Structure 1
């Protein structure tokens, strides 16, 4: 079963990057960008080829067939990518059950298949997605086990305190350089959110947009220790991050704060940007403290 959210993200990338007809979309580049394996990316590329968004050349791969200029929501709806995906629905149910301690640390495929009434293809798709995102893995021999994750409000708040120490410092690294293309992409995402995306985007999309913003800014430091740490933290906070999205009213202010940080970095006022990033993360910490009841099992 094809994960339509990946196809949607590829369409969004074509739009935000302003990719023109004939531009190449290498599968490995997309897999790295979307932080998934090549298999679901190849499936999504094939789907977009069927729908006329991409062309395919033998032994060369996929290329943009037409630019995406209409609002993303209209394009996604027109392509039939907006329909509810059973795999996504079950994915979030498993995540919620895991947070409620309703699933054991170790489990069999049969348990998941029976509990959520899945076909073999759906089971493979949902477990594949969970494995790609790092919160469960196949055991040697037989069965699966959940990876250690952030599953309590206190652990999520501690992850933000780590980020509070790390991210502002990353903006002050010698030789810090945020590429113009990256800055504009980040800015377009925040404008999309303020234009209505906060209400209409899925929890996956909201999470990925936030993660990509912060990781992009840290990556511009060129410091691999900062980069590896922030990516590891973002992987393990995923489940509680999804649940916190039940309260989306805080996201408009977050988007404005992101834009302010980008404006300062664009002007090479990195010390001010570092202070603004610290204030942004403190604001998020405070917001999470106020909604901790929805993070409880």
Structure 2
């Protein structure tokens, strides 16, 4: 199995979530930034999608969407024979849960993962690639791997939200704050997608990434590299506990509605009100996480 074959499905999901129309330009760097990948696997994936007729390659211009994507990406990937990443995702979540349960050591060998989860060599490399890209494992000098320092307790997840509660609303009040209409439209489309059924059908990592993209887009509007770097670091390390908290999805309808209201205020230049609503939104999330602490401790 090609270690990068899950990337075409992720690109299709991004296209569907943002409602991109046929003919939309798909710059490799933009996709790489959004998916937190290097350009190499993205270019490979675009080549695969070109062969499948999903995108069209135009000389000296790049790739453009050739076919509308309305079905869930996982379903379309299966139809096109691009669903190899599904089995890796299942193992990925098993590894995450085992790590949270303390069943995996801080340092480990590739042989340990390969034998414990019955992986082929290619599947092992795909798994390690994803975990490394998402920031929760790193290569040891010489031999083996180790887990990065992560948020692995319910209290640490709550602490991360308290940090965000102090930081994110302040970012909206930075002098010269600016968020482009294109970014607002992209974020709005992602929220509407969830409200129109995605809350039930999207995977945990899709929902997590949508939330990360929304909050990072808001903070990036500040233009302040200290705000931006801090929020990105927090988002990387809270991923595992965030996945587990998604077992209870009832709160996401309210999340989407609050996100849409914040976007509308920013669109109107009412940043102070938007900052207040963002503070309320994060406070509500903090309260909800306390209520589902039994899931986080499971």
In the TM superposition, 1:101-116 aligns within 5 A as 101-116=102-117
Count how many residue pairs are aligned between Structure 1 and Structure 2.
295
Deviation at 1:18, TM superposition (A): 3.1
Change (3 A) 1:225 1:290: same
- Alpha-carbon distance in 2 for matches of 1:39, 1:144: 23
Q: Which residue of 2 aligns with 1:130?
A: 131
1:276 corresponds in structure 2 to 277
User: Closer, same or farther in 2 for the Cα pair 1:83/1:251, shift >3 Å?
Assistant: farther
What does residue 18 of structure 1 align with? 20
> Unaligned 5+ residue runs, structure 1?
none
Instruction: Report the equivalent of 2:101.
Output: 100
Native 8 Å contact 1:37 1:132 kept in 2: no
> Secondary structure of the residue that 2:63 maps to in structure 1?
strand
State the shift of 1:178 in Å: 1.0
Q: Match of 2:156, SS?
A: helix
Residue aligning to 1:68: 68
TM-score (norm 2): 0.92
RMSD (CA atoms): 2.1
Q: Which deviates further from its counterpart, 67-76 or 41-50?
A: 67-76
Give yes or no for the alignment of 1:289 onto 2:284. no
Q: Distance in 1 between the 2:141 and 2:69 partners?
A: 48
Distance 1:221 1:67, change over 3 A: farther
CA distance in 1, matches of 2:32, 2:190: 19
Change in CA separation of 1:121 and 1:78 when aligned onto 2, cut-off 3 Å: closer
Shift of 1:166: 0.4
Instruction: Flag the 1:287–1:82 CA change in 2: closer, same or farther, 3 A.
Output: farther
User: Is residue 18–residue 67 contact of structure 1 (8 Å, CA) maintained in 2?
Assistant: no
Shift of 1:24: 4.5
Distance 1:9 1:71, change over 3 A: same
Q: TM-score, normalised by structure 1?
A: 0.92
* Conserved 8 A contact 2:26-2:65: no
* C-alpha distance 211-26 of structure 1, shift in aligned 2 (>3 A): same
- Between the aligned partners of 1:204 and 1:94, the Cα distance in structure 2 is 14
- The aligned runs of 1:177-192 (5 Å cut-off) are 177-192=178-193
Q: Report the CA distance shift for 1:140/1:77 in structure 2 as closer, same or farther (over 3 A).
A: closer
